[in-house]
Amino acid sequence: MRNLVTIKAGAFIVFTLMLLAATINSSWATENRLGLPDFTGLVETHSAAVVNISTSQKVTHREQPERPHGLPPGAPFDDFLQRFFGDKEGRGGDGRPDLFDAKSLGSGFIISKDGYVLTNNHVIKEADEIIVRLSDRREFVAEVIGMDKRSDVALLKIDADDLPIVKIGDSNALKVGEWVLAIGSPFGFDHTVTAGIVSAKGRSLPSENYVPFIQTDVAINPGNSGGPLFNLDGEVIGINSQIYSRTGGFMGLSFAIPMDMAMNVVDQLKDSGRVTRGWFGILIQDVTRELAESFEMEKPIGALVAKVIAESPAEAAGIKIGDVIVAFNGQEVVSSSALPPMVGSTRVGETIETKIVREGKSIVIGVEIGELPLDDDLKRSTAANDPNNEVEIERLMLIVSALEEVQKEALEEGKSGVYVDSVGRGPAAHAGLRKGDIIVMMDNQNIEGIKDFKTIVKGLKEGRSVPVLVQRRSGPVFLALKIMDNE
């Protein structure tokens, strides 16, 4: 009897433990499920305000300057070769260029009940016709209210009333790690939903200096461009614009335009049809650890001024080449990429306190912000050098020569320097100097010619980094030069 009771008691304990374990596992699984966001309500509520955008454009083929197979007109087999190998420009039999429709697809979203639609500039640029298709399958021909290439934002208008609209959110309140969701038409598949998290904020891309992009890992593909990026509150906090890819498809990096910037563009496009931005008038670069040492800075932060444009707000305020901008309007400038969006979003005509480091000392300068010119291409080219009057500077292990007139044209008026003909193994090579550079300034001293350059080099102290300003085809750039004790 005792054995039977013992067996029953043991079985009860085992059963209880199994039930407890199952309950714990079930509770854990439930909590895990509850910890993930549910996007269904968001999609049901807000997807109707997301639209598909298709464009068409008449494209004319240009005549080829040369016949690719090399035979003159009327030669044997000319007609055969032209048909299969040569005339791929689409010309008709009469030799005239053909016209055909080039089509593209993108996304957008409705921001007002009376038909204002936001999308990307690159989705609708050069389009002859823009069709906006709603979720209920209605289609409208859209009018372009305005386009802004620098922010990649375009504002459209369709003739409709009482439309579903999105709710605009505060992109400044967005946090890294926060869940976000995109709705768009990748590869033409309408109202496709993808989700992910915010990977970073304030990203600067090489081709877009004035947009502090929101970086996400949301799957974005061709056709998503111009579509909305939602937060979990159902608010649009960005416009999906670009992806980083080596294949043309999604690779885990996508970028969205912040809505605070996009809505500022919208307001200006509605008011005047164009967008104005603040302008400093400088070319800048990052501060490396070596450059920070050469400028007597504790850490490598800020935007190093490599060029001050003539008759610019920076020149008028007294900004100089070699200054390091470390704060703008009370905001710290961590890197050079952080400064353009700050300046660009500043009202034209406003005077902003700008903190700079100059020769190891911090000073504050008031800069009256100007308007960014339409043509802001600041690239300069240098011509090939005629290697005359070459001088070898053994201390730096490089050969320099006096500037020719054609090379001086690449510099600002009144500036001079020396041309780098070759660089050997030594301090100059370690600093990054290369053939074709024009050395304009060294150790914060302007270089008037070879004699001046030799004097400055002779006075350099061993073991100390000094800034060197050089002019290249891509523009001016600072390098850090250091002469070691054993060199």
Cα–Cα distance between 209 and 343 in angstroms, integer? 11
Per-residue burial over 207-240, b if 16 or more Cβ lie within 10 Å, else e, is ebbbbbbbbbbbbbbbbbbbbbbbbeebbbbbbb
**pLDDT band for position 398 (50/70/90)?**
confident
Q: What is the pTM of this model?
A: 0.66
pLDDT tens-digit readout, 100-115: 455 678 999 999 999 9
Instruction: Summarize pLDDT for 32-88 with one digit per residue, the tens.
Output: 455 688 999 999 999 999 999 999 876 544 434 344 334 444 444 444 334 333 444
What is the domain class of 278-371 according to CATH?
mainly beta
CATH number assigned to the domain covering 167-272: 2.40.10.10
* Residue 442 predicted with pLDDT over 50: yes
Domains 167-272 and 391-482 share a fold: no
| Domain parsing of the chain, residue ranges | 167-272, 278-371, 391-482
* Confidence category of residue 8, pLDDT binned at 50, 70, 90: low
pLDDT score of 449 more than 70: yes
Amino acid identity, position 359? E
Across 8-96, the runs of DSSP E, i.e. the strands, are 50-60
Fold of 391-482: Pdz3 Domain (2.30.42)
Tell me the DSSP string of 155-191.
EEE-S-SS---PEE--GGG--TT-EEEEEE-GGG-TT
Q: How far apart are CA 462 and CA 396, in angstroms?
A: 12
As annotated, the active-site residues are 122, 152, 225
User: CA 308: distance to chain centroid?
Assistant: 22
Mean pLDDT on 130-135: 94
* pLDDT band for position 31 (cuts 50, 70, 90): very low
CA nearest 166: which of 224, 106, 112? 112
